[in-house]
Amino acid sequence: MLLFCPACGNVLVAEEGPRCHRFACTTCPYVRNVTRKVTRRMGDGGLGGWMIVLGGGSAWENVGFHQPCPKCEHPRAYFMQIQTRSADEPMTTFYKCCNAQCGHRWRD
């Protein structure tokens, strides 16, 4: 969660104040004390959380076919490639079984 300074528009940074935690601007004297606990949880979404980043279920539209499923041995699986690491590393290939009853997902 990003908070912005209402006075100058810069990003506020979290810091520990004299009696409480607070958000402070590094450019101007604006300070906002934290009055309640701030938390946010995200579900796994499958494939170790990558499905949230990749766009959920609609990410599997318009993808190619490739190898057989290791779980049910269906002859085809959808695949897509995403650059998940730095540019000098190879792309990660994500697979999803074409068998509607199986739907197994894995990655290379």
Give yes or no for a contact between 104 and 72, defined as CB atoms under 8 angstroms apart.
Answer: yes
For residue 25, say whether it is annotated as part of any ligand binding site: yes
For residue 69, say whether it is annotated as part of any ligand binding site: yes
Nearest to 76 by CA among 104, 52, 41: 104
For residue 20, say whether it is annotated as part of any ligand binding site: no
For residue 72, say whether it is annotated as part of any ligand binding site: yes
Residue 103, C-beta contacts closer than 8 angstroms, at least 6 positions apart: 96, 97
Residue 49, C-beta contacts closer than 8 angstroms, at least 6 positions apart: 42
For residue 98, say whether it is annotated as part of any ligand binding site: no
- DSSP-based three-state secondary structure for 27: coil
For residue 5, say whether it is annotated as part of any ligand binding site: yes
Q: Which residues are annotated as a binding site for Zn(2+)?
A: 5, 8, 25, 28, 69, 72, 97, 102
Annotated binding residues, written as ranges, equal 5, 8, 25, 28, 69, 72, 97, 102
